[in-house]
Chain A
């Protein structure tokens, strides 16, 4: 059973470009969470999604950031018009159910904006 798969592992974008980060949850998991880790800091919750629904986006910046988890395919975190401050590691986690289940983390996507 493959773990949470994130791709790409490393992504370089120029300022103003778009970044798309993908997360395939573990098999059987329908809950996905995105976190951002700035250099030398802890992880900050961004958004919680279930299939075709955003459940909690209280940690998402109000502009340029969006997330989706379609019925088919991976969850996507999209950052439009990237700026240098978006450089960070973005981690995805998935869980089987909402209550009483451990969340498993992917290896992260390290975004560098140049």
Chain B
């Protein structure tokens, strides 16, 4: 079946540091891949997505590239801010709609001033 594995947290960085959160997946067919962000006490917000191999999703300075050969979708940001502190979830879709998502366990990011 489908599964998503992402690095465990928490990840603690200083402001303006470079961020990488690793995500690998196992899936049949060609899933779409997503990163969601969850701020404290809130629901999930879509951060970025990629629907086919070699696509790069980007938003708010975050980027991730769909790598079929390594089955990965690592999240990166060149310079994090305190306001980026949240839990980040990697996910894949069970169909091309981006619905019925399979999530990784989440990675908590804490950015210190």
Q: List residues of A whose CB falls within 8 A of some B CB.
A: 4, 31, 33, 35, 41-45, 48, 56, 91, 93, 95, 97-108
User: Is A103's CB under 8 angstroms from B99's CB?
Assistant: yes
Cβ of A106: which chain B residues have Cβ within 8 Å of it?
43
Question: Which residue in B41, B95, B98, B103 is a CB contact (below 8 Å) of A43?
Answer: B103
Judged by DSSP, the binding face of B is loop
User: Is B106's CB under 8 angstroms from A45's CB?
Assistant: no
Across chains A and B, the number of contacting residue pairs, with CB separation under 8 Å, is: 64
User: Is B102's CB under 8 angstroms from A45's CB?
Assistant: yes
> With A41-B105, A45-B102 given, is the CB distance from A105 to B97 under 8 Å?
no
> With A102-B46, A105-B44, A107-B42 given, is the CB distance from A31 to B99 under 8 Å?
yes
Q: List residues of B whose CB falls within 8 A of some A CB.
A: 4, 36, 41-46, 49, 89, 94-106
User: Is B103's CB under 8 angstroms from A48's CB?
Assistant: no
User: Is B103's CB under 8 angstroms from A102's CB?
Assistant: no
Cβ of B4: which chain A residues have Cβ within 8 Å of it?
42
A43 CA to B95 CA in the complex, in Å?
Answer: 17
> With A41-B106, A43-B103, A44-B103 given, is the CB distance from A95 to B44 under 8 Å?
no
User: Is B99's CB under 8 angstroms from A98's CB?
Assistant: yes
User: Is B102's CB under 8 angstroms from A91's CB?
Assistant: no
Cβ of A42: which chain B residues have Cβ within 8 Å of it?
4, 89, 103-106
A91 CA to B27 CA in the complex, in Å?
Answer: 24
Cβ of A93: which chain B residues have Cβ within 8 Å of it?
44, 99
User: Is B43's CB under 8 angstroms from A108's CB?
Assistant: yes
User: Is B103's CB under 8 angstroms from A101's CB?
Assistant: no
Cβ of B100: which chain A residues have Cβ within 8 Å of it?
33, 45, 48, 56
Cβ of A56: which chain B residues have Cβ within 8 Å of it?
100
Cβ of B102: which chain A residues have Cβ within 8 Å of it?
45
User: Is B99's CB under 8 angstroms from A43's CB?
Assistant: no
A48 CA to B102 CA in the complex, in Å?
Answer: 13
A2 CA to B49 CA in the complex, in Å?
Answer: 23
